[in-house]
Amino acid sequence: MTVSANQKIKLTSFSHGGGCGCKIAPGILAEILKNSNGFPVPKELMVGIETADDAAVYRLNDEQALIATTDFFMPIVDDPYDFGRIAATNAISDVYAMGGTPIMALALVGMPIHKLPIEMIGQIIRGGESVCAKAGIPIAGGHTIDSVEPIYGLVVLGLVHPSKVKRNADALAGDILILGKPLGVGIMSAALKNGALDAESYAAMIANTTQLNKPGQTLSGLPEVHAMTDVTGFGLLGHLLELARGSGLHAKLHMSHIPFLPGVQQLAENGFVTGASDRNWAAYGHDVSLADVITPTQKMLLTDPQTSGGLLVSCAREAVEKVLALFASEGFLHAAVIGEMSVGATGIEVSA
């Protein structure tokens, strides 16, 4: 059967979950992996699976380490070109989160060939290519399959000096937490799927999810920046908890300091939340202490799965202004101080 290019098709209608909300919930993932067999780890492997970091890092020599990562998901938006752009931006982000510079990508493409027009599939791929061009890297190959749901993403390779790798497990007590992008992508995607997202909000969502986390390259050169990750499918709390666990520290968040995309809090109040928010909380809520004034809606905002979310930086207090200025110079105008790290029980405390 051939599908007409003129036929009105909603990409999100093919996916049971969109963007990083497709991720297997952290609790289920831990259960799946708990009986995985260990294997000898070469001394050159600087970062593996130990702390659920953003990418693997393999030391090549005294001057270079190779960063390797992959990310792919089902549509979070209906526009095929935007879907390709978001997926590519999200995949490349993991290299920046390790402090690296991307060098090339491979495309991962799974499409229901008999349900989507060839032209639409081409637009998805071109969207990804446009982002790779902005990042200055080629798509050097890839793999395609005929699948039930549309799937697109990238394998991305990057380079970093071994001394400048920024893991998610090296935060220090006294560090300040800075978030590079506002939250709310999962909530906006839920509203979009239900026809409740206006054009202005959609534009804000696309601008947020297609902004490359390039500041990570420069942040890697700052010794005052101790740890870094990016916020994606497990929500702000989930990825901060990985940082706290890896560093053996206590994290404190200030709810009033956290930036959100415009209109997101009202959308959440109106019930536009994803199932992934509840799954995230079920997986790690026992390690999070919420102040009595934190509302159920605010809890949903903190567990909201982000697609192509912002960098979460743990840095020395004296470097805060330098880090914020760096974000601003790269066009990240909503970067904000949201909390701090301290000695104490491993976990997160959220205050007003």
Catalytic residues: 20
Output the 3-class SS for the chain.
CCCCCCCCCCHHHHCCCCHHHHCCCHHHHHHHHCCCCCCCCCCCEEECCCCCCCCEEEECCCCCEEEEEEEEECCCCCCHHHHHHHHHHHHHHHHHHCCCEEEEEEEEEEECCCCCCHHHHHHHHHHHHHHHHHHCCCEEEEEEEECCCCEEEEEEEEEECHHHCCCCCCCCCCCEEEECCCECHHHHHHHHHCCCCCHHHHHHHHHHHCCCCCHHHHHCCCCCEEEEEECCCCHHHHHHHHHHHHHCCEEEEEHHHCCECCCHHHHHHCCCCCHHHHHHHHHHHHHEEECCCCCHHHHHHHHCCCCCCCEEEEECHHHHHHHHHHHHHCCCCCCEEEEEEECCCCEEEEEC
323, 219 Cβ separation under 8 angstroms: yes
288, 235 Cβ separation under 8 angstroms: no
Nearby residues of 36 by Cβ (< 8 Å), 6 or more positions away? none
Taking residue 126's Cβ as centre, other Cβ atoms within 10 Å add up to 13
If you count them, how many residues does the chain have? 352
